Amino acid sequence: MGLSNYTSLFSDPIFWRILANNGILLLSIPIAIMIPLGAAFLLQRHVTGWKFFQSAFYLPTVISWVVIGMVAVQVFAGHGVLNRFLSLFGLHQNMLAHPVPALIVIIIAFIWSLFGSNMVIFIGGMATMAPELYEAARIDGANELKTFWHITVPLLRRFIQFNFILTLITAFTGLFSLIFVMTGGGPGFGTTTLEFFIYQQAFDSGAFGEAATLGVVLFVLMFAVTLFQVPLLLREDD
């Protein structure tokens, strides 16, 4: 036991496949932050129907992961809404039946589920900004894109870091219900994450020693990411 568990784990290609899935989820985090950031900027500018869209975008936040997973299955599965639409054009694709499309669907559901909470945090951050900054930018001839990139984004640095940490923690430790309902970790290990693999090893296979080893690996990864974030969070604003 002991170190032999780690030796066996690190020589297992399945482990590296699952770690790659977590890496792909990690790459999706900037998308999960930038889309709500852009939506928050538009809503803060009070575009037409902004009150309705603000409520609609926040809706996934108050829905459980299980419900979100069930809705995603009804959209992307072979019998789902998307395939019924595609069948009108002679196309059909059960995205949950193939590893790469299934992982993409998990990422879409993951981003959608966090969209509302990330957006509300950004709206709260924008509410603290002085309107005079935007007025001065307009006088200087800055368009909306330049205003967003050179004023809004730098002033929201703390809020972006906060959302990044929350989204990262969710990606590594909060997707169990979503994966369980949508794919069960399959097809194969195509959508299995470290968190879900711990469950499979412990309760499906009864390999509690291997599950504990995986738990330590997951803890070390999260601790390393936390250490990376600490200097950024403690850095003084320019």
- What is the per-residue pLDDT for 33? 94
Considering the domain boundaries, does residue 6 fall inside one? no
Considering the domain boundaries, does residue 36 fall inside one? yes
Considering the domain boundaries, does residue 228 fall inside one? no
Range of the domain at 67: 15-195
Mind listing the pLDDT tens digit for each residue in 51-77? 788 788 888 788 888 999 999 999 998
Nearest-angstrom CA–CA distance, 118 and 138: 27
Higher-confidence residue: 23 or 234?
23
Considering the domain boundaries, does residue 226 fall inside one? no
Considering the domain boundaries, does residue 155 fall inside one? yes
Banded pLDDT at 225 (limits 50, 70, 90)? confident
- What is the per-residue pLDDT for 189? 92
Identify which of 107, 213, 228, 121 has the alpha carbon closest to the alpha carbon of residue 170: 107
Considering the domain boundaries, does residue 163 fall inside one? yes
For residue 236, give the DSSP letter: P
Nearest-angstrom CA–CA distance, 236 and 238: 6
Close Cβ partners of 231 (under 8 Å, ≥ 6 residues apart): none
**CATH number of the domain to which 149 belongs:** 1.10.3720.10
Banded pLDDT at 180 (limits 50, 70, 90)? very high
Question: How many domains are there within the chain?
Answer: 1
Nearest-angstrom CA–CA distance, 73 and 177: 13
Mind listing the pLDDT tens digit for each residue in 84-117? 888 878 777 788 888 999 999 999 999 999 999 9
Banded pLDDT at 131 (limits 50, 70, 90)? confident
Considering the domain boundaries, does residue 229 fall inside one? no
- What is the per-residue pLDDT for 228? 79
Question: Which letter, b or e, does each residue of 2-20 get, where b requires 16 or more Cβ atoms within 10 Å of its Cβ?
Answer: eeebeeebeeeeebeebee
Banded pLDDT at 199 (limits 50, 70, 90)? very high
- What is the per-residue pLDDT for 207? 87
Nearest-angstrom CA–CA distance, 115 and 134: 25
DSSP codes of every residue in 38-73: HHHHHHHTT-TTHHHHHHHHHGGGGS-HHHHHHHHH
Cβ distance 92 to 72 under 8 Å?
no
Considering the domain boundaries, does residue 151 fall inside one? yes
161, two tokens? 């870091």
- What is the per-residue pLDDT for 233? 66
